[in-house]
């Protein structure tokens, strides 16, 4: 199999889109959800998410094929397949930077930081905790339930995984590979969330020079704290700047109007194509500039000749967190463990390709289920918890006022 052949990615995307379309027809709850969510203000970004999360899956599918053939985990020998992973992650960071910085610019000092913090916890963890449990159970199952570490060490490993680090569990080598090590990006997301109020004090709320200095020191301290085990890379963090730039871009009506022209669409597509074919790594100045140019045009509402509009694509966007977080484990089960049980040689293309195709459909199905029954209830629980806290604060305030009288 020629791992540089882009037709593999094309077929995989078609399978994913068809699977999503069939689910939309078969499960009324999905159609109702999309109808209820409607056309959001940033519908183009919602569609983009679906392509990105699935792109990371395709990237890891190629990497896994190389590993099975060579025994070495390395980037694909193709700019396109390397960038399908790295470029997608860079654009995900831009989406995060854009959405939350734009909200800050819109709400200013009225921004609800308590709601923000609670929403982020209830967005990340309801799905991550079951996945983490699956990883630990899988490790002990593979080791015949033998405890190879002192209890204290195992507790340290649990705590590290809870903060999105991936130390080997119970001496199982490269434990993180069970999930394709995808949680490394969550550490960058968490750093951005934690640094956001400090950055707002520096760049939006504008306080005294002393406040600015203290906030910058705080950001640097967070940078060191979050990257305690594995240093956060500054050039990875630069991706968020593309999203922040887009938050300012969309505030210029002339720029938004231009971004929705046919010329802008062509430029966006060309920028993406050049970034994905001329470079093998995303986190450098030139590819980040091209990806940033592409992103500001999409953030302005450009749907790329309709490619970001179909309901199936929007559904892939809705389930993108599940797709991103779960794909590594589903891939490991389907192309590494299943062939062992069936006595198949997954290094053969005629075995690997059908398994990868089945993995594609299964991933979209599982991600749809986890979104509906884990992610959505998790987000609702976050809102309920916030409401409970507000009610409690209000009751305390009323009680204190009565006592004062």
Q: Average pLDDT, whole number, for the chain?
A: 93
Least confident of 58-72, 181-195, 372-386, 388-402: 388-402
Of 58, 69, 65, nearest to 15 by C-alpha is 58
Contacts of 83 (CB under 8 A, 6+ apart): 275, 276, 277, 279, 280, 281, 282, 287
pLDDT of residue 123: 97
The DSSP symbol for 295 reads H
* Side-chain-facing half-sphere of 329: CA atoms under 13 Å: 21
Of 125, 69, 106, nearest to 321 by C-alpha is 125
Of 308, 185, 295, 279, nearest to 243 by C-alpha is 295
Of 161, 168, 11, 184, nearest to 85 by C-alpha is 184
**Number of residues written out for the chain:** 405
Query: For 331-363, how does the pLDDT look when each residue is reduced to its tens digit (9 = 90+)?
Result: 999 999 999 999 999 999 899 999 999 999 999
Answer yes or no: is pLDDT of 310 > 60. Answer: yes
Q: What are phi and psi of 101, to 5 degrees?
A: -70, -40
What is the 3-state secondary structure of 31-73? HHHHHHHCCCCCHHHHHHHHHHHHHHHHHHHHHHHHHHHHCCC
Of 134, 163, 290, 314, nearest to 226 by C-alpha is 163
Distance separating alpha carbons of residues 52 and 91, to the nearest angstrom: 8
pLDDT of residue 396: 86
Q: What are phi and psi of 324, to 5 degrees?
A: -65, -45
Query: For 5-47, how does the pLDDT look when each residue is reduced to its tens digit (9 = 90+)?
Result: 899 999 999 999 999 999 999 998 898 888 766 556 688 999 9
Alpha carbon 318 to its chain centroid, in Å, reads 11
The DSSP symbol for 108 reads G
pLDDT of residue 224: 87
Query: For 66-88, how does the pLDDT look when each residue is reduced to its tens digit (9 = 90+)?
Result: 999 988 888 998 999 999 999 99
Helices (H), 167-309: 184-203, 209-226, 234-237, 239-249, 253-259, 262-278, 285-299
DSSP assignments along 323-384, one per residue: HHHHHHHHHHIIIIIHHHHHT--TTSHHHHHHHHHHHHHHHHHHHHHHIIIIIHHHHHHHHH
CA distance to 30, 79, 390, per residue, from 393 (Å): 36, 54, 5
287 near 279, Cβ under 8 Å? yes
Of 286, 62, 328, nearest to 177 by C-alpha is 328
Query: For 265-293, how does the pLDDT look when each residue is reduced to its tens digit (9 = 90+)?
Result: 999 999 999 999 999 999 999 999 999 99
Of 104, 46, 97, nearest to 321 by C-alpha is 46
Angle, CA of 237, 363 and 14, to the nearest 5°: 90
Sign of CA dihedral 363, 364, 370, 371: positive
pLDDT of residue 296: 97
Find the mean pLDDT for residues 372-397: 94
pLDDT of residue 9: 95
Answer yes or no: is pLDDT of 2 > 80. Answer: no
pLDDT of residue 40: 61
Query: For 143-177, how does the pLDDT look when each residue is reduced to its tens digit (9 = 90+)?
Result: 999 999 999 999 999 999 999 999 999 999 999 99
């Amino acid at each position: 199999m020629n791992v540089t052949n882009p037709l593999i990615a094309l077929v995989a995307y078609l399978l994913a889109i068809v699977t999503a379309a069939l689910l939309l027809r078969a499960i009324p709850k999905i159609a109702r959800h999309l109808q209820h969510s409607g056309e959001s203000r940033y519908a183009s970004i919602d569609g983009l998410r679906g392509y990105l999360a699935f792109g990371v899956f395709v990237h890891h599918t190629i990497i896994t094929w190389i590993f099975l053939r060579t025994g070495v985990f390395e980037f694909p020998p193709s700019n396109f397949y390397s960038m399908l992973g790295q470029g997608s992650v860079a654009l995900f960071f831009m989406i995060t930077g854009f959405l939350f910085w734009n909200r800050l610019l819109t709400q200013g000092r009225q921004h609800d930081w308590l709601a923000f913090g609670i929403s982020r916890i209830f967005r990340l963890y309801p799905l991550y905790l079951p996945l983490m449990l699956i990883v630990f159970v899988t490790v002990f199952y593979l080791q015949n339930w033998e405890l190879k570490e002192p209890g204290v060490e195992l507790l340290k490993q649990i705590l590290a995984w809870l903060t999105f680090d991936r130390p080997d569990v119970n001496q199982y080598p490269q434990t993180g590979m069970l999930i394709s090590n995808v949680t490394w990006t969550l550490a960058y997301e968490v750093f951005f969330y934690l640094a956001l109020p400090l950055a707002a004090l520096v760049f939006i709320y504008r306080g005294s020079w002393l406040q600015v200095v203290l906030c910058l020191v705080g950001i640097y301290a967070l940078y060191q704290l979050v990257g305690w085990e594995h240093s956060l890379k500054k050039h990875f963090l630069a991706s968020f700047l593309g999203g922040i730039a887009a938050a300012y871009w969309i505030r210029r009506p002339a720029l938004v109007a231009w971004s929705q022209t046919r010329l802008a669409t062509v430029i966006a597509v060309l920028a993406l194509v050049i970034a994905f074919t001329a470079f093998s790594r995303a986190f450098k100045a030139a590819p980040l500039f091209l990806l940033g140019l592409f992103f500001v045009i999409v953030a302005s509402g450009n749907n790329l000749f309709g490619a970001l509009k179909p309901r199936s694509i929007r559904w892939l966007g809705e389930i993108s967190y599940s797709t991103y977080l779960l794909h590594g484990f589903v891939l490991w089960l389907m192309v590494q463990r299943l062939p062992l049980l069936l006595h198949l040689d997954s290094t053969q293309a005629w075995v690997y390709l059908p398994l990868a195709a089945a993995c594609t459909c299964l991933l979209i199905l599982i991600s749809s289920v986890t979104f509906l029954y884990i992610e959505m209830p998790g987000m609702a629980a976050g809102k309920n918890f916030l409401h409970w806290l507000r009610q409690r604060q209000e009751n305390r305030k009323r009680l204190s006022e009565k006592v004062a009288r």
